[in-house]
Chain A
Amino acid sequence: MTAPVAITLTVNGERLTRLAEPRETLADFLRRDLGLTGTHLGCEMGVCGACLVMLDGTPVHSCLSFAVQADGSAVETIEGLTESAAVTDLQQAFHERNALQCGFCTPGMLVTAQGLLARKASPSREEIRDALSGNYCRCTGYEAIVDAIETVARRRAASREELPA
Chain B
Amino acid sequence: MKAQAFSYVRPATIAQALDAFAGADGAATYIAGGQSLVPAMALRLQAPELLIDIAHLAELRGIALDEDGGLRLGALTRHAEAHDDPLIAAHAPLLALAAPFVAHPAIRNRGTLGGSVALADPASEFPAMMLALGATIEVAGPEGTRRIAAEDFFQDLYQTTMEPGELLVAFHIPAARPGDRCVFDELARRRGDYALVGCGVKLAMPAGTVDEARIAFLAVGPIPTRARNAEDALAGTRLDAEGIRAAQAALGADLDPQDDDQVPGAMRLHLARVLLGRLLGRLASAP
Point out residues on A near B: beta carbons under 8 Å. 1-2, 5, 21-23, 25, 28, 44-46, 49, 52, 55, 58-61, 63-66, 68-69, 71, 112, 115-116, 130-131, 133-134
Contact = CB atoms under 8 A, between A and B. Distances in A.
A52 B107 CA distance: 10
Contacts of A71: 10
Interface string B101-114: 00111110110000
Contacts of A68: 8, 10, 53
Interface string B136-170: 00000000000000000000000000000000000
Interface of B: 1-8, 10, 31, 34-35, 38-39, 42-43, 50-51, 53, 55, 80, 100, 103-107, 109-110, 191-192
B80 A61 contact: no
Nearest to B41: A23
Contact of A112 (B1, B100, B106): B106
Contacts of B109: 55, 58-60, 115
A61 B107 contact: yes
Nearest to B40: A45
A22 B51 contact: yes
Contacts of A46: 35, 38-39, 103, 107
- Of B1, B3, B51, B104, which is in contact with the most chain A CB atoms at under 10 Å from its CB? B104
A61 to B, nearest CB: 6
A61 B34 CA distance: 11
Q: Is the interface of B mostly helix, strand, loop or mixed?
A: loop
Contact of A134 (B2, B51, B103): B103
For the complex of A and B, 5 pairs with smallest distance between CB atoms: A134-B104, A1-B7, A22-B8, A45-B39, A2-B5
11 contacts: A1-B50, A25-B42, A46-B35, A49-B104, A60-B109, A65-B34, A65-B110, A66-B51, A130-B100, A131-B105, A133-B104
Contact of A64 (B2, B4, B80, B110): B110
Contacts of B39: 45-46, 64
Given A45-B42, A130-B100, A60 B5 contact: no
A28 B3 CA distance: 12
B117 to A, nearest CB: 19
Given A58-B80, A59-B109, A61-B106, A22 B7 contact: yes
Nearest to B51: A22
